[in-house]
Amino acid sequence: MIIHTTNFFKVVNMIKKIFLLLIILLFSVSVAFATNMNDLEIPHDFSGKKADGKYFIPKAYDNPRFIIEEVNDNSPNFKNSSLYGFWPSGEENIYFFSNHQVSDMGGIELIEMDGKKYTVSVLYASTLIDEDYLQDSLKYLKEFNQKNNITPIKP
């Protein structure tokens, strides 16, 4: 009788482990499919949505802007073109940028969601390259990534 009881408890424990594994697997799959562009959380200093929820303005003033845009083949993003220059920020796959007249500057990264690629950028309007603005843009992008469990990809 003792041998049968021991086997019974082993089977029950194995069923519990399998059931727990199935619950974890189901939860993981549902989280992976649940995230889309409309579910993204933006950094705490921004509010207000424009252009289908992809353009955010700051809460306090009109500088900087937080922008999420789908990448298309004609986009100059991450290419040192005649309009913009890009350089590494020190964080993997996050870059700083400015136009050559230094009226636009900030941080930018590339992410992939639902099989599409998007740029996420923090844009400041400034008449000179301001190191504080660059560091703030990096801080906002890192906060965005952390809130949404996103890792930027290589452009």
Name the E strands within 18-83.
46-50, 55-58, 65-70
pLDDT band, very low/low/confident/very high, at 46 (cuts 50, 70, 90): confident
**Cβ atoms 89, 103 nearer than 8 A:** no
The whole-number pLDDT of residue 57 equals: 64
Residues 113 and 121: their CA atoms lie apart, in Å, by 16
The pTM assigned to this predicted structure is 0.69
The whole-number pLDDT of residue 32 equals: 44
Instruction: Compute the average pLDDT of residues 74-97.
Output: 79
Residue 68 has pLDDT above 60, yes or no: yes
Question: Could you give the percent of the chain with pLDDT greater than 90?
Answer: 21
Instruction: Compute the average pLDDT of residues 64-72.
Output: 82
Residues 73 and 93: their CA atoms lie apart, in Å, by 19
Residue 111: strand, helix, or coil: strand
The whole-number pLDDT of residue 34 equals: 44
Kindly report the backbone phi and psi dihedral angles of residue 110, in degrees, each rounded to the nearest multiple of 5, phi listed first. Answer: -115, 130
The whole-number pLDDT of residue 31 equals: 44
